[in-house]
Amino acid sequence: METNAISRRNFLRTSSLAGTALCLGFYFPANAKKEQLMSAATADQLGFEFNAWMRIDTDGKVTLTDHRAEMGQGSYQSVPQIIAEELEVDLKDVNIIFAIGDPTKYGSQITGGSSTIRGSYKRLLKLSATAREMLITAAAAKWNVAASECYAESGNVVHKPTGKKFHYGELVTDASKLTPPTEVKLKNIADYKLIRKPLNRMDTPMKTNGVAIFGLDKKVPGMVYAAVERSPRLRGKIKSFDDAAALKVPGVKQVFKIQMLVFNTTRDGVVVIADSTWAAMQGRKALHIEWDDTGFDHINTADIYKAHEELLQKEEGLSFKKQGDPDSILAKADKKIDVIYQTPYQAHAAMEPLNCVASYQPDKIEIWGPIQAPDWVQGDIAGKFKMPKEKVIVNMTFLGGGFGRKAFLDYTYEAVAISKEIGAPVQVVWTREDDIRQGPYRAGISYRGQGSLENGEISALKFKMAGQNIDHWNGPARGHANESTAEGFLKPYYDSIKNISFADVPYEMPLPNMWWRSVYASTNGFAYESFINEMAVLAGQDQLEFRRKYLKEERCQQLIDRLEEVSGWKSRKKNEGYGVAITECFDSTVGQVVKVSRKPDGKVKIDQVWAVMDCGWYVNPDIIRAQVEGSIVMALGAATIHEITFKDGLVEQHNFYDYLMPRMSDMPPVEVHIMENTADAGGVGEPGLPPFSPALTDAIYDLTGKRVRKLPFNMNTI
């Protein structure tokens, strides 16, 4: 399958403007509430610059332009599965190309927030159903019959009374001249042939036989290679450097200083240019650099959490949400708890380290690589290099994982800056050590939870969080709370608990931080759901039944029923620990039950995880299961195995030997169950992560009586 972006010139050369294909796409008018679906011919008549989302050629081949990145989450499979369903074509006849970065043609292109399907599926269903109806109309006109007598099937339009058929390729020329209908009828879920089916992913063969193009595979004529020795501290500057030994390394061509923008500050580095990645890295090792750390806070991890705790005790913080009067209720309550939870800094540690190919020319900049936000990169590069946006071409490749890191703008800027300096295309490759030691990181967060009971019912809940705020990444807090302060906390709680408050206690620290899989829900979920479990224990009630009382919304009740059923919750035995948590983010709700027991040597082991996902409308159940399983692997690592720590202002971890990953032997069996309903689609790639750690620690408490409130913890010492 072709995975390269197609230029507008080449697209137009082979499009319906030449009368040889049916091309449909969307136009995103400025300040409009809704995009407009149109054909290429209409766009040309109106003078719009057009790039088709779908093209059907005279051979019947369907080419789909995927506006989002494929980084393992499955959009490369799910998007064509949607298209093939309503278009009535065989999935093998759908070809995919990655779009270039251009929000005026494709709208938002950020692959994050589990937004690809939930943000696009209605548009894609309508797009493919519109193409189908245009082809049916064209066939009916050829036969001089009513369109109602025709139907589409397997890339053909069939005339019901006679059985005559036209292949789509025979109809595209006539169909391309039609005006797309404004309304089309979509299938009922019960009539789906492809959607909601566990079809094999089309990118799997490509990724196993070497055909798939990742960033590191990209080569362009005249390209050289770069490795960069960057300051080990964000604000570190270069006092001096000696490149004599580096220049003696065979293949090394040039050495020079560069600055990389990181949020609103810079990080100094020394660039080694060579004729291969290996030579560039060897030249980098031979550099002798003296760094100036003046003015940087040489912070230690323990100092960060001590500061958090002091702030949570002294400060009320910035109010995010408040209903009722929890403070007065807590002040006079007899039965209450007041506890602190803490979560660690985390690296993204995607299997594919950062890399980027860039070519700077005076009248054009072109970029290739594993990029989660091509539209953001286009805007960033255009602004910083004073280049018109249309002259900045951002090409996506496959990504070997992203988790939010590859939506950041530092590594693409750095590659363009190096290319400009040397006047040639360059590939910049980060090592695993660069990736782990440079950040940005998921910020470590501390939480204070206060709650009270009256007659066995929650009378008040009060939460405060302290930690670095992604909202403030370009400067200090501006008087408003972290917008994600309550992320992960289920909305139905607000309907059943009268007195609740959430507040953000600002904490500023010059460490680069940004989103990480499931963003703040990954840390909030641990604190808030652990606290609900503690409140259930305080009330002397079953944790799942306790939630049932407060999560009265019908979908939550059905999810609890399913979770109880699949986990055998009511048939728990002695010497087994069961824990539960339910979180919500990106319009999906996930409940998990974790079962633990003791091994013969007395150590605690995880026996089983049950997960129930309610993501509403969905495409491929196998992809959902894979994403939830992967989320649990990542959550297990973050809860029990790895963290980023700082000593004297330096990151202590380097590679997978000291930033350990879960092994296959660490993983318990995982069952994933999907709720069936007709609600709008929610996210899938991220919501499966937050409930795991609170469910695990609840299970450990159930088995051992020990309460875990700080992550990560060592399973072998519980």
Position 5 pLDDT exceeds 60: no
What is the spatial distance between Cα 343 and Cα 592, in angstroms, rounded to a whole number?
Answer: 19
What is the spatial distance between Cα 122 and Cα 187, in angstroms, rounded to a whole number?
Answer: 12
List the one residue out of 193, 195, 168 whose CA is nearest residue 58. 168
Q: How many CB atoms lie within 10 A of CB 473?
A: 15
Find the mean pLDDT for residues 463-470.
95
Residue 297 confidence (pLDDT): 76
CATH hierarchy code of domain 315-345+442-717: 3.30.365.10
Q: Which residue has the tokens 């501390």?
A: 446
Q: What are 52's two structure tokens?
A: 């088709």
Residue 570 confidence (pLDDT): 95
What is the spatial distance between Cα 545 and Cα 414, in angstroms, rounded to a whole number?
Answer: 53
Lowest mean pLDDT among 15-19, 179-183, 236-240: 15-19
List the one residue out of 193, 289, 214, 305 whose CA is nearest residue 245. 289
pLDDT band per the 50, 70, 90 thresholds, residue 13: very low
Q: What are 339's two structure tokens?
A: 């506890």
Q: What are 47's two structure tokens?
A: 């003078």
Helix (H) or strand (E) holding 80: helix 75-87
Tell me the sheet residues that pair with 356: 428
Q: What are 626's two structure tokens?
A: 């894979």
Find the mean pLDDT for residues 374-397.
97
Find the mean pLDDT for residues 617-642.
98
Q: What's the topology of domain 215-295+354-429?
A: Aldehyde Oxidoreductase; domain 4 (3.30.365)
What is the spatial distance between Cα 381 and Cα 361, in angstroms, rounded to a whole number?
Answer: 13
Task: Using DSSP, state whether 536 is helix, strand or coil.
Answer: helix
Average pLDDT, the chain: 93
pLDDT band per the 50, 70, 90 thresholds, residue 574: confident
Question: With pLDDT > 90 as the criterion, what percentage of the chain qualifies?
Answer: 83
Instruction: For 35-87, write each residue's pLDDT tens digit.
Output: 778 787 776 676 666 667 899 999 999 998 888 999 999 999 999 999 999 99
Find the mean pLDDT for residues 665-672.
97
Preceding amide of 712 cis, omega within 30: yes
Residue 307 confidence (pLDDT): 97
Question: With pLDDT > 70 as the criterion, what percentage of the chain qualifies?
Answer: 94
Find out whether 659 and 170 touch, Cβ atoms under 8 Å. Answer: no
What is the spatial distance between Cα 93 and Cα 403, in angstroms, rounded to a whole number?
Answer: 31
Q: Classify each residue of 87-100 as buried b or exposed e, where b means 16 or more C-beta atoms within 10 Å of its C-beta.
A: bbbebebbbbbbbb
Position 19 pLDDT exceeds 60: no
What is the spatial distance between Cα 64 and Cα 86, in angstroms, rounded to a whole number?
Answer: 14
pLDDT band per the 50, 70, 90 thresholds, residue 477: low
Q: What are 613's two structure tokens?
A: 């996902």
Instruction: For 401-427, write each residue's pLDDT tens digit.
Output: 999 999 999 999 999 999 999 999 999
Position 465 pLDDT exceeds 50: yes
Report CA 252 to chain centroid distance, whole Å.
Answer: 37
Instruction: For 247-276, write each residue's pLDDT tens digit.
Output: 999 999 999 999 988 887 888 999 999 999
Residue 293 confidence (pLDDT): 83
Give yes or no on whether 215-295+354-429 and 315-345+442-717 have one common fold: yes
Residue 471 confidence (pLDDT): 77
Higher-pLDDT residue of 67 and 695 is: 695
Instruction: For 171-183, write each residue's pLDDT tens digit.
Output: 999 999 999 999 9
Task: Using DSSP, state whether 55 is helix, strand or coil.
Answer: strand
DSSP 8-class letter at 197:
S
pLDDT band per the 50, 70, 90 thresholds, residue 14: very low
Domain boundaries, the chain: 8-208, 215-295+354-429, 315-345+442-717
Contacts of 459 (CB under 8 A, 6+ apart): 329, 333, 452, 453, 498, 499
Q: How many CB atoms lie within 10 A of CB 77?
A: 22
Residue 47 confidence (pLDDT): 64
User: Which residues of 162-236 form beta strands (DSSP E)?
Assistant: 165-167, 224-230
Find out whether 708 and 701 touch, Cβ atoms under 8 Å. Answer: yes
Instruction: For 389-405, write each residue's pLDDT tens digit.
Output: 999 999 999 999 999 99
Instruction: For 276-309, write each residue's pLDDT tens digit.
Output: 999 999 999 999 999 998 877 788 999 999 999 9
Contacts of 48 (CB under 8 A, 6+ apart): 27, 38
pLDDT band per the 50, 70, 90 thresholds, residue 6: very low
Q: Which residue has the tokens 């948590």?
A: 581
Determine the residue type at 509. Answer: M
pLDDT band per the 50, 70, 90 thresholds, residue 1: very low
pLDDT band per the 50, 70, 90 thresholds, residue 441: very high
pLDDT band per the 50, 70, 90 thresholds, residue 93: confident
Position 141 pLDDT exceeds 70: yes
Task: Using DSSP, state whether 446 is helix, strand or coil.
Answer: strand
Q: How many CB atoms lie within 10 A of CB 388?
A: 9
DSSP 8-class letter at 492:
H
- Report the chain's terminal Cα–Cα distance, integer Å: 50
Helix (H) or strand (E) holding 539: helix 521-539
Q: How many CB atoms lie within 10 A of CB 389?
A: 15
- Write down the architecture of domain 8-208 according to CATH: 2-Layer Sandwich (3.30)
What is the spatial distance between Cα 372 and Cα 502, in angstroms, rounded to a whole number?
Answer: 31
Instruction: For 486-510, write each residue's pLDDT tens digit.
Output: 999 999 999 999 999 999 999 988 8
Residue 366 dihedral angles phi and psi, to the nearest 5°: -130, 140
Position 15 pLDDT exceeds 50: no
